[in-house]
Amino acid sequence: MTTASAPRFLRRRAAAALRSGDPDAAEDSGAAAAALAAGTVVAALLAAGAAALSLLRPAPTLPDAPIVMTADTGALYVRIGELVHPVRNLTSARLITGSTDPPRRIAAAALREAGRGPLLGIPGAPDDPGIPLPAAGLTWTVCDGAASTVLIGEGRTGPDTAVLAAGPSGRLQLIADGHRHQVPVGDPGVTRALHLDGLRPRRVSAALLALIPERPPLTAPVIPGAGGPGPAALGPAAVGDVLRTQRAGTTEYYLVLAGGVQRIGALAADLVRFTSGRPDPGIGTVDPAALAAVPTVGVLALRELPDHLDAVAGAGPGELCAAWTPGELRVWTGSRPAGVRPVRLAGADGPGPGVDAVGVPPGRSVYARDRAGRWLITDTGVRFGLDDEATAALGLGDDPVPAPPGLIAALPAGARLTRSAALVARDG
């Protein structure tokens, strides 16, 4: 303490003693009291602020929503009665609750006071059922090359091509005019009639063949009374002969039968001539007036044969693709439609008989029906069976798109989506 400050110190001590009545009192108890009062005010203000904040921002509570999702982890939960259950995926959550509303986002703290139940849901069900593709313009395409690929969505096709193919069983198939016909092995007459000499078949998958309706085999037709006399109005023509006539700039072919004539296509005419087993007199020309005097009959089942074949493709570069829409089928060689990148399947077998990849636009799905039932096909390429309750819970509606017979069965199978399956509880 300096000489100058000592008198001030003594004066403060004296003033403090006079105020307190205590000669040993601190020199400034008023300052201490002021500090205490200030601290009390600050503490009161902090308490009031905390109370106000608790009113403005209360502790998180669980909303009254059937499906909730934690904002930080994305974990899904469903309400069943007074309990909240973790659920494996959104599809299962919708099956359980019947709600198509999006999950309500919550803070994880909102679950702390809720009663918790065991894990529910269908293992392997879609994380999200996706948005179904519309029926308009939907095309089912299978392309075979180094791999077998199924594409579902908008389709672009190439020019129609007739193809000699062999499926997984090894049977020869002629694909033409949107149908396929089995070709007998070891019948040179059929081979020549179809212009298949020296042609190697193209290997195709069961999925591609499933797209194409099968028609009767291309076998030699059996003609009753072949070689016998035909109708008198046709002159020397014998049963089994092929005649032609011109009509409005087109050529029509007729097969002579014992009771009349049967109109046939150019391919059937060649099959008859190359497989008859008797000398071929060639194709005679007949006057339309003579044909009018002869009954037209339909003895032989030849209507489902292709009318004609311009050229037949066999094994070669590029892919063979078939595109199906209700009422129409196109087959071509070259390249697959551009657009969706297919997902390679875990069970891909390359040159084997299975499907290797499936393409559905990301975030979309296909709600389809075939003879076996109704299906949800996701952008992973997996098919899931559905029942009435599931279609309603998932908001799929009552109008599944038609699918080609047999193709959906070639896709990998997932679990059947039902509410009862989604309600099965599991410990992890």
* 147 and 278 inside one domain: no
Residue 103 falls inside a structural domain: no
Q: How many domains, the chain?
A: 2
Tell me which H or E stretch contains 334. strand 328-334
* 207 and 266 inside one domain: no
Whether 400 contacts 371, CB under 8 Å: no
Distance CA 355, CA 208 (A): 9
Residue 202 falls inside a structural domain: yes
* 206 and 235 inside one domain: no
* 256 and 322 inside one domain: no
> Would you give the distance in Å from CA 372 to the centre of its chain?
16
Q: What is the span of the domain harbouring residue 327?
A: 139-218+309-334
Residue 213 falls inside a structural domain: yes
- The SS3 call for residue 37 is helix
Residue 192 falls inside a structural domain: yes
Whether 320 contacts 163, CB under 8 Å: yes
Q: What is the pLDDT of residue 3?
A: 52
Burial bucket for residue 406 (CB in 10 Å: 0-12, 13-18, 19+): middle
The per-residue pLDDT string of the chain (428 residues; one tens digit each, 9 = 90 and over) reads 555 555 555 555 544 544 455 555 454 555 555 555 666 655 566 655 555 544 555 545 677 889 999 999 999 999 998 899 999 999 999 999 999 999 999 998 888 888 999 999 999 999 999 999 999 989 999 999 989 999 999 877 778 889 999 999 899 999 998 899 999 888 888 999 898 988 999 999 999 999 999 998 988 888 999 999 999 999 999 999 999 998 888 899 999 999 999 999 999 999 999 988 888 788 989 988 888 899 999 888 888 888 888 889 998 888 999 999 998 899 999 888 887 889 999 999 888 888 999 999 999 999 999 999 999 999 999 999 999 999 999 999 889 999 998 899 999 999 999 999 999 999 87
Q: What is the pLDDT of residue 24?
A: 56
**Could you tell me the two tokens for 75?**
């974990």
* 329 and 209 inside one domain: yes
Could you say which of 293, 317, 344 is where a domain stops? Answer: 293
Residue 8 falls inside a structural domain: no
Residue 34 falls inside a structural domain: no
* 244 and 279 inside one domain: yes
> Which residues have a Cβ under 8 Å from the Cβ of 68 and sit 6 or more positions away?
62, 76, 77, 78, 79, 84, 103, 104, 105, 106, 110
**Could you tell me the two tokens for 321?**
């693709």
> Which residues have a Cβ under 8 Å from the Cβ of 223 and sit 6 or more positions away?
239, 240, 255, 257, 272, 276, 300
Q: What is the pLDDT of residue 13?
A: 55
Distance CA 333, CA 340 (A): 19
Q: What is the pLDDT of residue 298?
A: 86
* 277 and 233 inside one domain: yes
* 157 and 213 inside one domain: yes
**Could you tell me the two tokens for 307?**
């009318």
Residue 122 falls inside a structural domain: no
| CATH number for the domain harbouring residue 287 | 2.40.50.910
Whether 216 contacts 293, CB under 8 Å: no
* 157 and 275 inside one domain: no
Whether 148 contacts 142, CB under 8 Å: yes
* 267 and 162 inside one domain: no
* 172 and 279 inside one domain: no
Q: What is the pLDDT of residue 11?
A: 58
Residue 253 falls inside a structural domain: yes
Could you say which of 301, 334, 367 is where a domain stops? Answer: 334
Distance CA 5, CA 156 (A): 102
* 190 and 233 inside one domain: no
Whether 286 contacts 242, CB under 8 Å: no
